[in-house]
Amino acid sequence: MKHLRHLNKYFLKYKWKLISGLIITIAARIFAIYYIPLIGDSTNVIEDYVKGEINDVSVVRNELVYNILLIIGATLASAFLTFLMRQTFIVVSRHMEYDLKNEVYRHYQDLSLNFYKKNRTGDLMNRISDDVSKVRLYLGPAIMYSVTTFTSTVVVLIYMTQAAPELTLYTVIPLPLLSFAIYKLSVAIHKRSTIVQQYLSRLNTFTQESFSGIAVIKSYGMEPQTNRNFTELSDNNRDKNLDLVKVQAFFFPLMVLLIGISNILVIYIGGRKYLNGEIENLGVIVEFLLYVNMLTWPVASIGWVTSLIQQAEASQERINEFLNEKPEITNHKPTPDKITGSIAFKNVSFTYDDTNITALKNISFEVKNGETLAIIGKTGSGKSTILELTGRLYDVGEGEISIDGTNIRNLNLESLRNSIGYVPQDAFLFSDSIKNNIKFGKTNASDEEIYEAAKNASVHKNITGFSKGYDTVLGERGITLSGGQKQRVSIARAIIHNPEILLFDDCLSAVDTETEEEILNNLFKISRNKTTIIVSHRISSAKNADKIIILEDGKIVQQGTHSQLINQSGYYKELYAKQLNEKEM
């Protein structure tokens, strides 16, 4: 239970609701059992009348009517209290589930990019959905059934021992057996349902991928092969489901068998005792039959609850594993900073943990406030890494990155991130309206600000061309934007909040040279007093920068202005000649 201790804070938070649930449950169980002695009593009255011990039929009638009214009252009270009990325990468990989900989600958000690289998205999703749901079964049903079982068992046993102590002993013998058998069965069911879940998630992943990649499947004529793969997965899935159903099928017969044994014991032993005169009235036997049936479900639920708790413990262990992960990038400065934007890299080297690739080697450069730096270099030379380090998505191993003369580790993290407008290499847009995607950069932006940003990113005309304009929904359920349109919406998102620093990671690669020219002209206007770093493979994007650096294998191999670099032999001059030729062709 040590992993479940993490949840104690939630029990404390909802303690008053839980305590009232406890009181309601005890009252509900007392009322639920209350009718049994009344039935016994009614049987006894009839028996006494049959034996001739009572001669007046109206006495019998009055007693029966009185008992029936009490039974109706107790049943109604028990039904109402049971409703309240579920409302309390199950509602509280839903609140706790909501709190836990939020806690996990907030923690995920704080964790660094490295964490996301080390763990698969499916695993992250499972822990926040499936595992939290399993924990909820402990927080709600498991606690509720434990309280019900305990209360019912204690109350029923008190009633039974008062009525016939020896008979009680014989009739409860099969019950622990029932509990143990149900526990074993629940464990077997759990094992099989975990396997079913795994197969189901494989099937889902396959289906989802084949729908997303339907264009590739069709163009390669792979439909028959995909069908075969689906059938194979689906067959496995069915077999695993059948394995589960076979075990589940034992559940109720087992319960019925053990209740049957208890009933036979009551009738056999109780009957003999009645004939011997050890039990005075038939009513005791009737009562015992009802008690045994009433005890069965709570006793069976001990096994079920035990397996629920075990599953919750395993799930909470997985959740805690992530909750105990410390964010690698933390804020060391609580007060906000005013950032103007001059950036300096001093002897920076950086190695990615997971691949051990040293992406940057002893990099030094400076971009003053309001200047533009262009970074050019072959693929894999470390260009994107420079931008990611500037935004402190990773902390550097060696050397120092400073902004306005302060090491970025000592800047307020929120101020740093707010001062940056970052356009990543692969523009990611959410399945939401274009307007909301742009507003992501400034949640309180007015429509005018959105249009202005879209105009500067040269995408306004495209958007107004869609029938729903800025309300056009993107993604799975909506329109698919072209690569260039996506890049431009992503640029609009970065510039809308008027940041001091703009980082563009090869974000004009999918637009034609004319649009590139138009966007660069707009950006030139809006970035006059901003510090800009443009990563590109095109000379056209870099040529107007105040400074250009050429990276090769993580090192700066050339730097200067466009006019200086085209007069030096090296990568820049070669690229310039090549791209000039392509333009002329």
Ligand X SMILES: Nc1ncnc2c1ncn2[C@@H]1O[C@H](COP(=O)(O)OP(=O)(O)OP(=O)(O)O)[C@@H](O)[C@H]1O
Element (H, E) at 505: strand 501-505
* Number of residues lying near ligand X (CB under 6 A): 15
Work out whether the CA dihedral 537, 539, 545, 548 comes out positive or negative: positive
Reduced 3-state DSSP string for 326-357: CCCCCCCCCCCCCCCCCEEEEEEEEECCCCCC
**Residues between 59 and 118 that touch ligand X (CB under 6 A):** 117
Q: Considering the complex, what minimum distance in angstroms separates the CB of residue 355 from ligand X?
A: 4
Q: Are 148 and 25 in contact (CB under 8 A)?
A: yes
Which range binds ligand X by CB under 6 A, 9-17, 242-250, 306-314, 376-384?
376-384
Considering beta carbons, is residue 137 or 389 the nearer one to ligand X? 389
Q: Helix (H, G, I), strand (E, B), or coil: what is residue 479? A: strand
Q: How far is the CB of 485 from ligand X (least distance, A)?
A: 20
Site for ligand X in 495-524 (CB under 6 A): none
Encoded one letter per residue, x for contact with ligand X by CB under 6 A and - for no contact, window 280-319 reads: ----------------------------------------
> Is 370 or 399 the residue whose CB approaches ligand X more closely?
399
Distance in angstroms (rounded) separating the CA atoms of residues 542 and 374: 5
Closest approach of ligand X to the CB of residue 117, in Å: 6
User: Of these, 43, 234, 384, 522, which contacts ligand X (CB under 6 A)?
Assistant: 384
Residues comprising the chain, all counted: 585
Q: How far is the CB of 506 from ligand X (least distance, A)?
A: 6
Of 233 and 550, nearer to ligand X (C-beta) is 550
Minimum CB separation of residue 495 from ligand X in Å reads 21
The span of 61-69, 208-216, 281-289, 377-385 binding ligand X (CB under 6 A) equals 377-385
Q: Does 425 bind ligand X (CB under 6 A)?
A: yes
Cα separation of 160 and 511, whole Å? 84
Least Å distance between CB 148 and ligand X? Answer: 52
8 A C-beta contact, residue 343 and residue 502: no
The stretch among 208-216, 331-339, 340-348, 373-381 that binds ligand X (CB under 6 A) is 373-381
Write down the least CB distance from residue 521 to ligand X, Å: 24
Q: Which is nearer to ligand X, 130 or 388 (CB)?
A: 388
Kindly tell me which residue out of 370, 380, 391, 478 binds ligand X, with binding defined by CB under 6 A. Answer: 380
Closest by CA position to 318, among listed 510, 569, 130, 566: 130
CB of 126 to ligand X, least distance (A): 23
Compare residues 230 and 352 and give the one whose CB is closer to ligand X.
Answer: 352
User: What is the residue whose two structure tokens read 């559940």?
Assistant: 251
Reported as half-sphere exposure (CB side, CA atoms, 13 A), residue 57 has a value of 0
- Contact present, 324 and 344 (Cβ < 8 Å): no
Which one-letter DSSP state was computed for residue 404?
T
Helices marked H in 324-443 — which ranges? 383-390, 413-418, 434-439
CB of 438 to ligand X, least distance (A): 24
Nearer to ligand X, 393 or 526 (CB): 393
Residue 205: HSE in the Cβ half-sphere, 13 Å Cα cutoff:
12
Q: Is 385 one of the binding residues for ligand X (CB under 6 A)?
A: yes
Cβ-based nearer residue to ligand X, 109 or 379: 379
Which tokens hold the place of 367? Answer: 């971009």
Cα separation, 227 vs 215, whole angstroms: 15
Q: CB 232 → ligand X: shortest distance, Å?
A: 34
How many angstroms separate the Cα of 40 from the Cα of each of 37, 124, 287, 438? 5, 57, 5, 74
Under a CB-based contact definition with an 8 Å cutoff, are residues 496 and 445 in contact?
yes
Q: Pick the closer one to ligand X by CB: 356 or 444.
A: 356
Say whether residue 259 binds ligand X (CB under 6 A).
Answer: no
Residue 121: CB minimum distance to ligand X, A: 15
Minimum distance from residue 455 beta carbon to ligand X (Å): 28
* Three-state secondary structure string covering 157-191: HHHHHHHCHHHHHHHHCHHHHHHHHHHHHHHHHHH
Q: Which stretch binds ligand X (CB under 6 A): 32-40, 221-229, 323-331, 379-387?
A: 379-387
Scanning 146-154, 236-244, 366-374, 382-390 for contacts with ligand X by CB under 6 A, the matching segment is: 382-390
Amino acid residing at 534: I
| SS3 assignment for 219-234 | HCCCHHHHHHHHHHHH
Closer to ligand X by CB, 434 or 494: give it.
494
What's the CA gap between 157 and 495, in Å, rounded?
73
Q: How far apart (Å, rounded) are the C-alpha atoms in residues 339 and 335?
A: 13
CA angle 525, 526, 528 (to 5 degrees): 70
Question: With binding defined as CB under 6 A, does residue 382 bind ligand X?
Answer: yes
Q: Pick one of 149, 381, 487, 490: the residue that binds ligand X (CB under 6 A).
A: 381
Q: Specify the residue, 88 or 532, whose C-beta has the smaller distance to ligand X.
A: 532
Q: Is 121 in the site for ligand X (CB under 6 A)?
A: no
Question: Nearest approach, Cβ of 228 to ligand X (angstroms)?
Answer: 35
Structure tokens at 68: 């029936």
Number of H helices, E strands in the chain: 23, 10
Matching residue, tokens 């309300």: 471
Region 333-372 residues binding ligand X, contact defined as CB under 6 A: 352, 354-355, 357, 359
- Alpha-carbon gap, residue 545 to 538, rounded angstroms: 12
The SS3 assignment for 213 reads coil
CB of 431 to ligand X, least distance (A): 24
Between residues 441 and 554, which has the closer beta carbon with respect to ligand X?
Answer: 554
* Residue 382 vs 441, nearer CB to ligand X: 382
Phi-psi region of 458 (alpha: psi -120 to 50; beta: other; left: phi over 0): left
Of 237 and 384, which CB lies nearer to ligand X in the complex structure? 384
Query: Can you tell me which of 383, 439, 530, 547 binds ligand X, judged by CB under 6 A?
Result: 383
By C-beta, is 99 or 388 nearer to ligand X? 388
The minimum distance between CB 113 and ligand X, in angstroms, equals: 7
Binding site for ligand X (CB under 6 A): 117, 352, 354-355, 357, 359, 377, 379-385, 425
